[in-house]
Amino acid sequence: MPPPATTSQWSVFHHRDFTLFWLAALVSNSAQWMQQLAVPVLMFELTDSNTWVGAAAFSILIPGFLLNPVAGVIADKASRRVVMMFTLSAQTLVTVGFAILWENGSLTPWAILALGLCQGIASGIQIAAWQSLVPLLVPPEHLLTAVRLNSAQFIAARALGPLAGAGILALVGIGTVFIVNGATFLILVSVVAIIKPRETAPPSTEPPVKVFKEGLSYVAARRPLLQAIWVGFSISFFGQALVQIAAGLARQDYSVGQVGLAGFYTAVGFGSVLASVVLIAVGDNLPRSRVALVGYAVYSVGIVLAAATTNYRVGLLGFFIMGIAHVTIAISVNTAVQIQVSEAVRGRVMSIYLMGIFGGIPLGAFLWGRLGDIFGMRWVYLMSGFLMAMFLLFAIFALKGLREIDANEDTADEDNLWEENLWDDNSWEENLWEENL
């Protein structure tokens, strides 16, 4: 696969379908971050427990880990646009359920977990289709930019959503957050209904189990993809999971309420936006491996700083640095995965890669939340910052400095492929080589 042609970073917005999808996704994801602020606040108020807050995050995110193998097969065998419409509609219904139960006074901790599980199931099926749909909204020469901007859209939503959510919570209450989130889901469904992705090769007609095994074989033969899974899990488990349970830190250690928690979320978001703008501007002028390694070092500093004092401004700075670090790692690795993978297996590869992320956040949130109730959130953050630094050393020495994610082409170990008989299916071999691998 030759490196994509260099084009203006912003000319991707000349493509109508990508622009409509990007704008609608920004609005919808911002509203989802509003709800992600509201639910932990509500859960902590109902239970006064970090464990319950971690359980809420676990219920929403663990289905993504469990369902990603299925989601990847669906993304490669079915219309990604149809999958998106179905799952977005399901998420709309779940959000309506939140609103109705809140208005009736029936939104108990167990109801929050149940609705979160339903939302997580829909999201878990959706994410591989989403990641695989974006490259089909632009011509191949704009793929890298589209991938970066898709990541930037998620990142910008992290800054805008909590800020808007704090205002809505303070002025009109949590019920309005659920209503707004449901309305923005409908906007995104409408946009997905009218866009027309590029045509791809006909999907495989092989049984789903065999299709997924082919995806596993494809990933297993490529060290950059294996490294990406390690990286995705580490920044989710040691870093992003801490953001999910920040309600306890805000209340217990900084003595600030929902507005203070929104400040932490917003600081992460603005740090993420700043880093994404820089990465989009520099393109591939910097090796992705070096950017990611620097991100690990910065992440460790941000986590420790967030828990080092009880000064709220220092805490904000720590979360701001965490946002910068998370994006420098996540965009670097996600770009490497998208640019190196064949279109024929994109859905399955993205689902396997995302398993690391969807596994790390819920497991980390539940574990760190439980430890927070035992030892205190401050010590949990310090412990996680130390372990993040240890993973940096692991990446440098055991993963060879992540250098293999710098490639802009497929890097399969051909000897391993033949030894494992991964090409025993003729149609599969033809599909891959047609992608100029």
| pLDDT band, residue 202 (cuts 50/70/90) | low
Q: Do the domain assignments include residue 210?
A: yes
Q: Do the domain assignments include residue 3?
A: no
**Is 44:248 a contact under the CB 8 Å cutoff?**
yes
Q: Do the domain assignments include residue 1?
A: no
H or E stretch including 14? none
User: 């449901």: which residue's tokens?
Assistant: 182
Q: Which residues, 6+ apart, have CB-to-CB distance to 424 below 8 Å? A: none
CA distance 34 to 25: 14
| pLDDT band, residue 272 (cuts 50/70/90) | confident
Per residue in 23-65, pLDDT tens? 999 999 999 988 988 898 899 889 989 899 999 989 988 888 8
Question: What range does the domain containing 125 cover?
Answer: 11-197+205-434
CA distance 8 to 20: 19
CATH number for the domain spanning 265: value is 1.20.1250.20
Q: Do the domain assignments include residue 5?
A: no
Computed over every residue of the chain, the mean pLDDT equals 84
Buried b (16+ CB within 10 A) or exposed e, 305-337: bbbbeeebeebbbbbbbbbbbbbbbbbbbbbbb
Q: Do the domain assignments include residue 20?
A: yes
Per residue in 158-188, pLDDT tens? 778 877 887 888 788 888 999 999 999 999 9
- Maximum mean pLDDT: which of 311-315, 359-363, 409-413: 311-315
| pLDDT band, residue 9 (cuts 50/70/90) | low
Burial class (CB in 10 A: 0-12, 13-18, 19+), 301: middle
Q: Do the domain assignments include residue 2?
A: no
Note the helical H segments in 341-425.
346-375, 377-397, 414-419
Helix and strand counts by DSSP (H, E) for the chain: 17, 0
**Percent of the chain residues topping a pLDDT of 90:** 38
Ranges 22-31, 268-277, 324-333, 425-434: which has the least confidence: 425-434
| pLDDT band, residue 359 (cuts 50/70/90) | confident
Q: Do the domain assignments include residue 118?
A: yes
Number of structural domains (the chain) is 1
Q: Do the domain assignments include residue 4?
A: no
CA distance 341 to 350: 9
Query: What letter would DSSP give residue 402?
Result: G
H or E stretch including 43? helix 16-47
